[in-house]
Amino acid sequence: MRTKIKDALNAIEPQDEILIKGWVRTKREAKGFSFLEINDGSCLQNLQVVVDGDIPTYPVLEKIGTGAAVKVRGSLVESPGKGQKWEVQAREVELIGYADPKTYPLQKKRHSDEFLRTIAHLRPRTNKYGAINRIRAELSFAIHRYFHDKGFWYIHTPILTGSDCEGAGEMFQVTTLNLNQLPKVSGQVDLSQDFFGKKALLTVSGQLEAEALACALGDVYTFGPTFRAENSNTPRHAAEFWMIEPEMAFADLEDDMVLAEDCVKKLVSYALKHCAQDLDLFARFVDKGLSSRLENILKEDFVRLSYKEAVSILKRARKKFEFPVGFGLDLQTEHERYLTEEYCKKPVIVYDYPKEIKAFYMRLNDDGQTVAAMDVLVPKIGELIGGSQREERVDVLESRLKDLGLSKDEYWWYLDLRRFGSVPHAGFGMGFERLLMFLTGVSNIRDVIPFPRTPKHLEF
């Protein structure tokens, strides 16, 4: 049985027999022996292997270089060198998979993020992208643990859907029709011949279905991939991204904001505790301010600003914005970042947005102008979370749908939830990649998801 490098490095005593498998990061040759630095993905750190020239399998080292997969048998011994406690003294080295040094793309120590995006299948073998993927895994687990401990049920909402949750019209359509030979009736594509007999889309959010389950199970959350066809080529938007969406029955906007703040803080503290070694890489090489920013999140309360207050702060700001500011206009990333980075210098929750710039399902406030919405804004990112209390009054919801030109018939089941045992309920969506960017200081969303999907990019 192979020992994972993470466990070998954490050993408490030497071991006579150890079997290690991994990929060679570097090979150094000295007189009569060689050093191999091996990584198997179990942790950031490599394991040093010393191969003496007199072991029978020594000649195989000629074929072993950076990128090769190897198997090493030997003893785990205390390392006399500095930088590591343990090393392996090899008795037998075997080549599992050859990597031609002339063509293996990861020879150089440092490559640009742009170059590494073109080899997304190999970049997880670098320190930085290995670390990102481990942090992604740890945080996924942390999310499940957080909600599980709070008594939320993990539910699965569909990826194929017939309804547009956000009403923003930025959805991918899914079809099995032959696009070169579309069936038509009176000039229109005949969707009755399509797989579902109607228009099918990839979901932008699991919220609507999560509401149905919350109105039966109480507190639920969904955590899965979502898809948006917005043609925005920004460092913060991906066409496929993962979202965490809790939904609570018997809850209002205040409960929603409390949950959002607590959730962010708990996830930050989980990451600091469980991903310390990987995070340290980002604090040293990617974002010098990372550690203090993360520590600060834990110490202080998030600032709360009504949208109205936020707009007046932005109007007073002695800063030139590219986009206009005014009541009724949506906040742009530059505005959000000003509020959280420069004005408050900590996370900010903006709430009570004008109804015109928010989705149909948000609860209308008594002023008739604003809805019970909230966005959590964090330094370096802008919007991390978007949520709201949902409209639970069937008549108000129907008139909202009507105002927005949305069909009552399409949302019949959603209206049903308001007809039968309707309760105040609230929830939010947190972009998982944005959370990872926030935690690591990585500034481009393409670098925190293994295989990014953005306009005109689908190589893998």
Distance CA 230, CA 328 (A): 22
Which of residues 65, 386, 431, 441 is near Mg ion by CB under 5 A?
386
Instruction: Report the amino acid identity of residue 178.
Output: N
Measured from the CB atom, the residue of 25 and 434 that comes closer to Mg ion is 434
Residue ranges of the alpha helices (H) in 23-163?
A: 113-117, 127-149
The one-letter code for the residue type at 380 is: K
Among Mg ion, ligand 4AD, none, what binds residue 237 when CB lies within 5 to 8 Å by partner kind? ligand 4AD
Q: Which does 238 bind (CB under 5 to 8 A by kind): Mg ion, ligand 4AD, none?
A: ligand 4AD
Q: How many of the other CB atoms lie within 10 Å of CB of 449? A: 20
CB atoms within 10 A of CB 378: 25
Shortest distance (Å) from residue 426 CB to ligand 4AD: 8
Minimum CB–partner distance for residue 9 and ligand 4AD (Å):
35
Q: How far is the CB of 422 from Mg ion (least distance, A)?
A: 25
Measure the CA–CA gap between 190 and 124, rounded to whole angstroms. 44
d(CA 128, CA 239): 23
- Nearest approach, Cβ of residue 326 and ligand 4AD (Å): 21
165 is in the binding site of which of Mg ion, ligand 4AD, none (Cβ under 5 to 8 A by kind)? Answer: ligand 4AD
Residue 240: CB atoms within 10 A of its CB come to: 17
Partner whose binding site includes residue 166, from ligand 4AD, Mg ion, none (CB under 5 to 8 Å by kind):
ligand 4AD
Stretch that binds Mg ion, among 87-95, 162-170, 331-339, 378-386 (CB under 5 A): 378-386
Nearer to Mg ion, 25 or 237 (CB): 237
The β-bridge partners of 289 are none
Q: Which does 245 bind (CB under 5 to 8 A by kind): Mg ion, ligand 4AD, none?
A: ligand 4AD
Q: Compare residues 86 and 361 and give the one whose CB is closer to ligand 4AD.
A: 361
Nearer to Mg ion among residue 431 and residue 452 (C-beta): 431
Q: Where do contacts with ligand 4AD occur on this chain (CB under 6 A)?
A: 165-166, 205, 207, 228, 230, 237-238, 241, 243, 245, 383-388, 427-431, 433-434, 445
User: Nearer to ligand 4AD by C-beta: 65 or 386?
Assistant: 386
For the chain, what is the radius of gyration of the CA atoms? Answer: 27
Go through 120-134 and write b for each residue having 16 or more CB atoms within 10 A of its CB, e for each that does not: beebbbbbbbbbbbb
The CB density around residue 172, as the number of other CB atoms within 10 Å, is 14
Cα 184 versus chain centre, distance? 41
Part in contact with Mg ion (CB under 5 A); list of ranges 201-209, 225-233, 340-348, 384-392: 384-392
Q: Does 382 bind Mg ion (CB under 5 A)?
A: no
By C-beta, is 379 or 431 nearer to ligand 4AD?
Answer: 431
Report, in Å, the least distance between residue 220 CB and ligand 4AD. Answer: 11
Residue 367's CB is within 10 A of a number of other CB atoms, namely 9
3-state class percentages of the chain: helix first, strand second, coil last, to nearest 5 = 35, 25, 40
Q: Indicate which of Mg ion, ligand 4AD, none lies near residue 414 (CB less than 5 to 8 Å, by partner kind).
A: none
Point out the residue whose Cβ comes nearest to Mg ion. Answer: 386
345 vs 378: CA distance, rounded Å: 9
- Residues in the site for Mg ion, rule: CB under 5 A? 386
